[in-house]
Amino acid sequence: MELNGLIELGRLAAFSFAAGVNLYATVAMIGLAARFDWVDLPAQFALFDNGWVIGAALALYLVEFFADKIPYVDTLWDVLHTAIRPLGGALIAVASLGDASPGVQGLAALLGGTLAASSHFTKAGTRAAVNTSPEPLSNWLVSLAEDGFVVGLGLLALNYPVAALTVVLVLVVVIVACAAALVRAIRRRFARAVPAAQPS
């Protein structure tokens, strides 16, 4: 794959993955980067350089910033965004391509939506587990770490998209490995809970 293709794929994957954690921060970052020429972005990113888009993304990010710090409110917020974040990731992926055939756009939408869904469900599951803690400090720390991750991955995608692609690939492998381990643990627990039938 040519370097330009890797750069395009890196930004597509990183922005989609970040959208699964915080869609509004991701859109705002892309829009601000396009508006103020933080880096030399391709022409298709001008789609995000719109005052209404940037303003709405920043306003919704502000709402999410506070909602995400309140135990159980954060889980409700995640539930409400179960469809929104993957859809947003798919749209970001398609927009990141610029001019492309319908088939390539469809593949990009699937990839972006899948990456956003994987990070969204990982976030939602982690936050649900953290909510079992009686004190709110853990929620704040995890939420701030998520915000920092989204900003960090977004900046990496803007400046070093190939490195951002590597980070996303590593994280996807970790997510898949953890999901497989969790499924095995649940199966073992279920097998122990249901004793074998005694012979008559």
Give yes or no for a contact between 89 and 30, defined as CB atoms under 8 angstroms apart.
Answer: no
- Is the confidence at residue 102, as pLDDT, over 70? yes
Q: What is the pLDDT of residues 150-185, one digit of tens each?
A: 999 999 999 999 999 999 999 999 999 988 888 888
* 3-12, 53-62, 143-152, 185-194: least confident range: 185-194
**Residue 7 structural domain:** 3-193
Neighbours of 12 (CB within 10 A): 26
Q: What is the pLDDT of residues 63-99, one digit of tens each?
A: 999 998 888 888 899 999 999 999 999 999 998 887 7
Is 185 in a helix, a strand, or coil? Answer: helix
CA distance 128 to 116: 18
CA distance 164 to 13: 8
Question: Is residue 79 in a domain?
Answer: yes
Question: Is residue 200 in a domain?
Answer: no
Say how many domains are in the chain. 1
Question: Is residue 198 in a domain?
Answer: no
Read off φ and ψ for residue 178, nearest 5 degrees. Answer: -65, -40
Residues belonging to the chain:
200
Question: Is residue 140 in a domain?
Answer: yes
Left, alpha or beta for 98 (phi > 0: left; psi -120 to 50: alpha)?
A: left
Indicate the pTM of the whole model. Answer: 0.89
pLDDT confidence of residue 195: 59
Question: Is residue 170 in a domain?
Answer: yes
CA distance 173 to 152: 19
Cα 185–chain centre separation: 26
Is 161 in a helix, a strand, or coil? Answer: helix
> Tokens standing for 158?
């803007």
Question: Is residue 20 in a domain?
Answer: yes
